Chain A
Amino acid sequence: MKTVTLGDYKRRMLQVLVHIQQHLDEPLPLEELAGVACFSPYHFHRVFKGMVGEPVKEYVRRLRLERAAQRLKLSPASVIDIALDAGYESHEAFTRSFKSAFGMAPSQFRMARGVRFARVPSGVHYCEPPSKRFRTLSRGGRMRVEIKTLKRMRVAFMRHTGPYDEVGKVWDLLLTVMGKEGYLGGNPMMLGICHDDPEVTPPAMIRYDACLTVDDGFVPSGEIGVQTVAGGEYAVTTHTGPYNQLGKIYAEFLGQWLPRSGRELGNSPCFEVYVTDPGSTPAEELMTDIYAPLKEEEAVR
């Protein structure tokens, strides 16, 4: 048995970075990018953000703009042709993005001398041939993480589709309906399963399940369904603070701690366990356990 190392993770991520640069004219969906180096599609965007320091979409957009900038300098093509190649449908949209990235309009950039790209965490910019190195962030490498083995859990749940910061509504409904039936007795766990990353999926389409552990006697009805959370090994870290900081913690956890852990993620979503009652806990003292499913060690080749 061989454990995965940080070097393995970096080599695989580099394959993804090179693939991106070689296919900038294509749509580059997340599933395809995850597949390039066998990352689990459930977690890829968070691993990417944590390792590279930018969200994938942001990274792709930046590289397209940098390529456009290089073409402005080196080729006689018209600005509109370069804009179209960079994936923009109009001159205006391109100019707006270009200005915010480089501080000047494309036509000015063409004339300017000695322009440099702004610094990025990974140090990777568009260049030919593609860069063979990148910097990985390491801050989260020292997070406190515990490996826990969970039994499979049966959970009653309600699905919320919409902005992440509105999940309180569905929790309210679930806990009221379940609570009056006595399901809040016996100290059940409250889990949130986020099927989409708020940084990748448009707010209106984010799917989130508010879940409450139940025993086998529970019968789903109406809007309340039932599902099973797989048992097995999970890496668990605790976030103490407001819920809106969770995105940052996920990125450190999966992009910085994980590559140094010798483990790989399993093919199911992460979930959050809410330890404290937001009704009586100040935001900075809220505790959330983040559970990341691990692949069985034996299965790692």
Chain B
Amino acid sequence: MTTAVEEKLELFKGNPEYAAKPKPALVKTGPAAYLAVDGVGSPDGAAFGEAIGALYGTAFTIKMTRKFAGLGDYAVSRLEALWPDMNGEPGAHKTQWKWTVMIRTPEFVTPADLTRAADVLTKRGKGDGVSKVRLMRLNEGLCVQALHVGPYDQECKTIAAMKDFAGQHGLHFAGAHHEIYLSDPRRVEPAKLKTILREPVRKG
């Protein structure tokens, strides 16, 4: 006789893709699914805040709906963001920055799950921004990664070290600048903020 053991799926804890140290390192990332919201504007602005709220609301609603229906359990991952224009040196003014905020999600989450969650949240009066949440797949392949400890506006030092490291390995940055937020900036002082920085790289 076999017993089905219900295991909680962990996308974040124990995943080597999220085990960065301050020293840059190479990491192989596989294809991954995300809930995501695209936008433009300062990370201190209202649109960015609304996108994060919509993302978390949707992520937890999908998780709990599936869990209630007996479709398995998983931990909601950390907040991440892509900053496509920002390959080390932010050129444009803050208010022009393009971003995609996202939360890693199990592959088995379907567009129907997303639609249902958006409907429930809207009906509940918690629908601000949820219509902008989409399912997205990302395949970054080989990346250089480092843990940045400190304020966001001092990332350039860490990025410079990552660029040097890539150069030493005959690689160059070849994708959107990717940040994985390990600390909540509303609660942690800037000097102690922990952020994983990820840059997809290619040979040559």
Contact = CB atoms under 8 A, between A and B. Distances in A.
B76 A280 contact: yes
A123 interface: no
Nearest to A177: B68
B77 A182 contact: no
A182 B130 CA distance: 12
B68 A184 contact: no
A181 B69 CA distance: 12
Contacts of A275: 184, 187
Interface in A235-267: 238
A183 B184 contact: no
A218 to B, nearest CB: 9
Given A179-B63, A185-B121, A185-B124, A276 B76 contact: no
Contacts, number: 76
A256 to B, nearest CB: 24
A176 B66 CA distance: 9
B60 interface: yes
B126 interface: yes
Contacts of A185: 53, 57-58, 60-61, 121, 124, 126-127, 130
Contacts of B132: none
A280 to B, nearest CB: 5
A187 B57 CA distance: 7
Contacts of A282: 13
B21 interface: no
Contact of A217 (B61, B125, B187): B125
Q: Which 10 pairs show the lowest CB-CB distances between chains A and B?
A: A179-B64, A185-B126, A185-B57, A182-B124, A279-B75, A182-B120, A186-B126, A184-B60, A185-B121, A180-B65
Interface of B: 12-13, 53, 56-58, 60-61, 63-65, 67-69, 75-78, 117, 120-121, 123-128, 130, 184, 187
6 contacts: A179-B60, A179-B61, A180-B65, A182-B61, A185-B60, A280-B77
